[in-house]
Structure 1
Amino acid sequence: MGGSSDVPALRRGLAVLRLLASRPGPLSAAAVARELDLPRSTTYHLLAELADAGFATHFPEERRYGLGVAAFELGSAYLRHDPLERLARPLLRKLVDQVSLPAHLGVLHGAEALYLVREQPRQPQTIVSDVGVRLPAHLTASGRAMLARLPDAQVRALFPSARAFVDRTGRGPRNLPALRRLLTGERRRGWAVEDGFVTAGFASVAAPVYDHGERPIAAITVTFRHLCEEPCGQSWPELAAEAMQTADSLTERIGGSRA
């Protein structure tokens, strides 16, 4: 490398990779140049270098470029390092110390919320959302915090019929219109709430974590005891603000951008 003079070229190369990764299929060099506002000659040079290194693949018959095997290998290595969990754990610990309640990190796995990390206060509480547990996303605050930021078509694909709406306690959405009404309110509010949807006597608030493409990649959730015989419509904004601050901090740590 030639020092600081190579930095602009590196940034442009990374911009090309991000663009290729953001598209559902290969792109022409002209499309890459147009999207990134680059000279044609520079674009062809960058694509050739990326292809030589295995990070891009050239499809000569289509005159298009896509991601290469090296990009896949890099992504696989990233996952092996468990970066999301490692970066989230100290933030969750700080959140738990502030609110004295259990907190966890969850991701969407199909139509379920999968819990990856959990931190407990000094006096542990028994909750259902342990590490490795999967729960129906439409019932959990963490699941709906992410669902609220997905396109309508994707939500519809995850919940194609009434059979997809599992019931645990008699509360929660039973069909797609009911789920959409909840998601609309939660998207507007900025966080999701569940009150006895998963386990009677417990409630949760959750806020989404975003990747660099402003897509919901995870959620930070705080769970607490709350017994209410009938749905009481509480949203716990003070507690949600703490979860949102933690989610925003994790978004920043992973290089994400809030929608």
Structure 2
Amino acid sequence: MSNEKFAPPTRTKERGLERAFLILDYLCTISEPQRPIDIATGMGAPKSSIYELVGLLTTAGLLERTDSEGRVFLGRKLHYWGLNYLKNFDITRHARPVLEWITDQTRETSQLCMLERDKYFVAMMNEGSRPFRISADVGERTPIPWTASGRLLLGHLTTKEILALIPPEDFICPNGGRIDPQEYADSVHKAWKEKFFSFDSIADNFTHCFAAPVLDAEGICQSTVCIIAPKQDAMENYALYRETLIQAGRRLSYLPNISNDYI
């Protein structure tokens, strides 16, 4: 029997597979259907390869056509895969009651936050009991330096690795100011030592953000629990918010000496 079909992929096939994933990532980022030519333009990729890959992804059910003009978007097979992922991803299964507990203790909006390559995103959120909404959109990608969680999610990396990961433009704040990369890396390592970080939000002028790590079996921060609160309340309740988040992070963290289970 020939082993040809089990042969390692060629570099050409690897590049094609990588570009296919980038198409899915691109559509996820822009959050709207696109024609193949628009995808190619937006990605700066060859039109011929994008047309071919869009066709293959559509046939496989990973993309679906949305109109007569050939626009495509993420397919329902991805939703099916996502549902199965959630069944086996302990953090998201255990996080909901913990986020509800954080909000019960603080009245504030609580979040579970993670990284997706070089960006931060809110994976889950529990709305606070305030009459007005203080939160970020679930799934929206944000530059890591703009966030409290970013200081913890990068805590296991060296300064060189941190600066290599974050795009230079992500050190520019929404107001046009600039975060010094070296000072940022130093703040990451300081936050990691303390296993907690909070600061006045870079995205607005009236909230304060708190974050505590959720550690995996190797002691690496794979996610964080967070609170977004008005500055005045954050000042008045700082100790409560800090202790609540630290306890919540520990409840979700994996400790290898606790019978392979969560606290």
Q: Same fold (TM over 0.5)?
A: yes
Aligned pair partner of 1:222 in 215, 227, 231: 227
Give the equivalent residue in structure 1 for 2:15: none
Q: Which amino acid aligns with 1:221?
A: C
* Corresponding position of 1:239: 241
| TM-aligned CA deviation for residue 151 of structure 1 | 3.2
Among 103, 110, 122, the residue aligned to 1:96: 103
2:151 maps to what in 1?
A: 144
Aligned partner of 2:190 in structure 1 is 185
Check 1:111–1:194 CA distance in 2 against 1; reply closer, same or farther (3 A cut). Answer: farther
1:164 is paired with a residue whose SS is: helix
Q: RMSD value over aligned CA atoms?
A: 3.2
Give structure 2 stretches of 5+ with no counterpart: 1-81
Q: 2:207: which partner in 1?
A: 202
Maintained 8 Å contact 1:191/1:244: yes
Q: Is the 8 A contact 1:212 1:256 kept in 2?
A: no
**Equivalent of 1:174 in 171, 175, 179:** 179
Cα shift at 1:178: 1.6
Distance in 1 (alpha carbons) for counterparts of 2:238 and 2:194: 11
User: In the alignment, which residue of structure 1 is the partner of 2:44?
Assistant: none
- Mapped to 2, the partners of 1:192 and 1:256 lie a distance apart of 26
Q: Secondary structure at the match of 1:181?
A: helix
Instruction: Name the SS of the counterpart of 1:115 in structure 2.
Output: strand
> In structure 2, which of residues 104, 125, 128 is the aligned counterpart of residue 121 of structure 1?
128
Structure 2 counterpart of 1:240, one-letter code: R
The CA distance in 2 between the partners of 1:217 and 1:85, in whole Å, is 12
Deviation at 1:158, TM superposition (A): 1.1
* Aligned equivalents of 2:261, 2:157: Cα separation in 1: 16
Q: Pick from 195, 215, 218: which aligns with 1:213?
A: 218
Which range moves more in the overlay, 83-92 or 140-149?
140-149
**Runs ≥4 in structure 1, deviation > 6 angstroms?**
none
The aligned length equals 177
Whether contact under 8 Å (1:221, 1:243) holds in the other structure is yes
Q: 1:80 to 1:118 in 2, by over 3 A?
A: closer
Alpha-carbon offset, residue 188 of structure 1 = 2.8
Q: Name the amino acid aligned to 1:189.
A: E
- Displacement of 1:150 in angstroms is 2.7
d(CA) in 2 for partners of 1:95 and 1:218?
16
